[in-house]
């Protein structure tokens, strides 16, 4: 594919030619003559006259090309002590039969189907079956509350809901069907069909006339062929949180998505067809859509579907066991997972217990990776560990060390450089280009590349107001960061994580990085809280590594001194609380905004994606003890 500079320069000189060449990696029913339609507003459309089917590209074409006996999907579930695998031929047969069953129930091109399932093969079958019919799936993370689920069913106009009877985690069984029932009870008007996959751990009671059991649905079902759709037709809707409280339905168009993901598998991740690729995420998040299901299968890889955790199922060696057992070549996970492993196994003894000879590269994304965590992983694994940056809206990497083009020197703390297709500028508050080392708002010049969301479901004006209005000619990422003198991009966190302390703009991400560099700290968080004199001051939290047995007050004093020495007295960090755990979403993001709202005494609510509400409860008590708020004054 050539080196990075060659590829990036090729895209800059001839963007349409670059993406025309990339589109050759996809099988089209009607090959596009027009690569991009700039006349379409507010966002240009990619491959507007092309027609294709994503399921055919992800499954059927590999069978057609004689690779039907290659492994397509490995299901590894430590919570049920199950390992199962499916060849491309077996995957095609499962998906075609389910698609036929859905078609028999009246699901056709353009219909929306909500999928509410844990990390089981049937969830993947359901996504691909929708794609096979040209239906639009909307996967909702398993465990979302009834009101959140109902909002997504209503906004998407779903004709059917496909769910499992339960999910299973380290804490035990979580019944899903009662949540689905409550969500459906909240709906006005006609009820969607509800298809239930019964798991033996917790079979669900079915409602006659509305619910259909999975095996009964498939009984005598015909197989369905792939339905060609327009490249501009939506493949899926993925809801993400919005500032108004209403979820934002990120739309993924079919053609641009297929082209971008197929190209990214080799260019960004260095993956080859038949490689074993493992994204340790969840299908409820964008990483699961892009790199558990579609990306690896489009590229002809074997993808790993893991129903477990980095620790606790059963221990901090879980990831390394999966890599060894299944011969994983490329892995992708979140920094928080590595921090959890590092906390439990700081000396990497679990890594030494496994043969990781198959692993070439570990990729990290989903949140900022502090340099200390990246160095620990790289030194412990003895392999490149690559931090890269993207968003739900983008669907694939915006900035990365594109190892399939050229492995550039790794700079811990940096997402490396813009991926071909993205022109990234760092802008100051007055819209000027920031100097090297100067922090500002990260913005992407229009037009955006294939695969990027072209709009919001039922919300084109909201799309413009949210992403395009702040900086005309740009997509506003809401992330802050800077370039260094070598053109490496550092993404420091959301723009609201840049705090103003007595007129000085400071990055809480930088302070977190400093706290995490302390040898006793496993992970950290810093938020800006309101202060009557300075406007805002930073408040720090640190989780200590397993086995650290020191006086917490001494550790706290060292952490405060560390930040003062590296940032200066202007940082005004005076309090760092030692905590057992940080409140997080199930995807691993620390609930910084919620912590800040609690500390400032503002109205707040428990996020629907919270991993452990008990951790947040302890933070409410801690903040009250620290004098930042009265816990009785907040609303949960």
What are the residue ranges spanned by the domains of the chain? 502-633
Q: How confident is the model over 356-388, as pLDDT tens digits?
A: 999 999 999 988 888 999 999 999 999 999 999
Residue 363 buriedness (CB in 10 A; 0-12 / 13-18 / 19+): buried
pLDDT at 315 over 60: yes
Kindly state the percentage of the chain with pLDDT values over 70. Answer: 95
Please, which pLDDT band fits residue 600 given cuts at 50, 70 and 90? confident
- Max mean pLDDT among 17-31, 234-248, 590-604 falls in 17-31
* Residue that has been written with the tokens 């392999």 in this structure: 383
Picking from 24-38, 85-99, 293-307, 609-623, which range would have the lowest pLDDT averaged per residue? 609-623
Total-model pTM:
0.86
Give pLDDT, residue 496: 67
Residue position matching structure tokens 């020191």: 550
Residue 166's alpha-carbon distances to 54, 77, 95, in angstroms, are 29, 14, 21
Q: What is the dihedral of CA 63, 138, 135, 44, to 10 degrees?
A: -90
DSSP E strand boundaries for 326-420: 330-333, 361-364, 385-387, 399-400, 417-418
Q: How far is CA 271 from CA 338, 364, 397, in A?
A: 22, 15, 15
Q: Is the pLDDT of residue 169 over 70?
A: yes
Helix ranges (H only) for 24-145 are 54-55, 61-64, 88-104, 121-133
Other CB atoms within a 10 A radius of the CB of residue 407 amount to: 15
pLDDT higher for 35 or 368? 35
Distances (CA, A) of 560 to 260, 445, 478, 563, 569: 45, 39, 28, 5, 10
Length of the chain in terms of residues written: 636
Structure token digits, residue 265: 């598998």
Mean pLDDT of the 226-244 span? 88
- State the CB neighbour count (10 A cutoff) for residue 23: 25
> Distance between CA atoms of 204 and 178, rounded to whole angstroms?
8
Average pLDDT, stretch 259-272?
98
pLDDT-derived band at 636 (thresholds 50, 70, 90) equals very low
**The dihedral sign for the CA sequence 204, 210, 216, 217:** negative
* Cβ count near 382 (within 10 Å): 9
Banded pLDDT at 634 (limits 50, 70, 90): very low
Class of domain 502-633: alpha beta
Of 56-65, 97-106, 365-374, 448-457, least confident by mean pLDDT is 365-374
Q: Where does the pLDDT of residue 242 fall: very low under 50, low under 70, confident under 90, or very high at 90 and above?
A: low
pLDDT of residue 635: 40
Report the pLDDT value the prediction gives residue 143, as an integer from 0 to 100.
67
Residue 248 and residue 262: Cα distance in Å, rounded? Answer: 26
């Amino acid at each position: 594919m050539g080196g990075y500079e060659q590829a990036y320069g090729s895209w800059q000189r001839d963007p349409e030619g670059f993406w025309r060449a990339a589109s050759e990696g996809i099988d089209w029913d009607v090959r596009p003559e027009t690569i991009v339609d700039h006349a379409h507003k507010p966002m240009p459309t990619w491959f507007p006259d092309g027609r294709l089917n994503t399921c055919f590209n992800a499954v059927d074409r590999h069978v057609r090309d004689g690779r039907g006996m290659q492994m397509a999907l490995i299901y590894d579930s430590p919570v049920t002590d199950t390992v199962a695998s499916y060849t491309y031929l077996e995957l095609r047969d499962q998906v075609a039969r389910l698609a036929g069953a859905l078609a028999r129930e009246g699901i056709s091109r353009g219909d929306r189907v909500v999928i509410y399932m844990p990390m089981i093969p049937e969830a993947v079958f359901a996504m691909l079956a929708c794609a096979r019919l040209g239906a639009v799936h909307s996967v909702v993370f398993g465990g979302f509350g009834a009101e959140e689920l109902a909002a997504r069913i209503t906004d998407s106009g779903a004709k059917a809901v496909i769910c499992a009877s339960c999910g299973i985690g380290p804490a035990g069984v979580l019944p899903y069907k009662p949540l689905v029932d409550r969500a459906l009870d909240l709906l006005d008007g006609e009820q969607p069909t509800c298809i239930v996959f019964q798991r033996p751990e917790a079979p669900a009671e079915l409602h006659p006339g509305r619910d259909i059991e999975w095996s009964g649905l498939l009984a005598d079902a015909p197989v369905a062929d792939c339905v060609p759709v327009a490249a501009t037709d939506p493949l899926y809707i993925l809801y993400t949180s919005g500032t108004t409280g209403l979820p934002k339905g990120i739309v993924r168009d079919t053609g641009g998505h297929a082209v971008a993901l197929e190209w990214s598998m080799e260019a960004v991740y260095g993956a080859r067809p038949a490689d074993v690729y493992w994204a340790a995420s969840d299908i409820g998040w964008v990483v699961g859509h892009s790199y558990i299901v579609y990306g690896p299968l489009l590229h002809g890889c074997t993808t790993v579907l893991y129903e477990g955790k980095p620790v606790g199922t059963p221990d901090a060696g879980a990831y390394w066991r999966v890599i060894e057992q299944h011969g994983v070549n490329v892995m992708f996970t979140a920094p928080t997972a590595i921090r959890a492993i590092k906390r439990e196994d700081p000396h990497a003894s679990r890594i030494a217990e496994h043969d990781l000879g198959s692993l070439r590269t570990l990729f990290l994304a989903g949140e900022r990776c502090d340099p200390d965590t990246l160095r620990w992983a790289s030194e412990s694994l003895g392999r490149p560990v690559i931090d890269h940056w993207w968003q739900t809206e983008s669907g694939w990497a915006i900035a990365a060390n594109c190892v399939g083009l050229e492995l550039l020197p790794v700079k811990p703390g940096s997402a490396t450089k813009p991926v071909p297709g993205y022109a990234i500028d760092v802008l100051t508050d007055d819209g000027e280009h920031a100097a090297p080392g100067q922090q500002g708002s990260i913005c992407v010049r229009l037009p955006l590349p294939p695969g990027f969301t072209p709009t919001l479901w039922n919300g084109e004006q909201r799309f413009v107001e949210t992403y395009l209005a702040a900086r005309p000619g740009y997509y506003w990422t809401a992330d802050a960061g800077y370039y260094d003198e070598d053109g490496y991009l550092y993404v420091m966190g959301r723009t609201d994580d840049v705090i103003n302390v007595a007129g000085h703009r400071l990055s809480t991400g930088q302070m977190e990085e400093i706290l995490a560099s302390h040898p006793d700290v496993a992970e950290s968080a810093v938020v800006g809280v309101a202060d009557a004199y300075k406007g805002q001051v930073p408040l720090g939290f640190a989780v200590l590594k397993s086995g650290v047995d020191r006086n917490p007050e001494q550790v706290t004093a060292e952490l405060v001194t560390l930040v003062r020495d590296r940032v200066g007295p202007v940082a005004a960090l005076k309090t760092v609380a030692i905590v057992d755990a940080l409140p997080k979403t199930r995807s691993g993001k620390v609930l910084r905004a919620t912590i800040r709202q609690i500390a400032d005494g503002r109205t707040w609510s428990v996020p629907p994606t919270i991993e452990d509400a008990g951790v947040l409860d302890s933070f409410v008590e801690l903040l009250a003890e620290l004098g930042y708020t009265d816990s009785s004054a907040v609303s949960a």
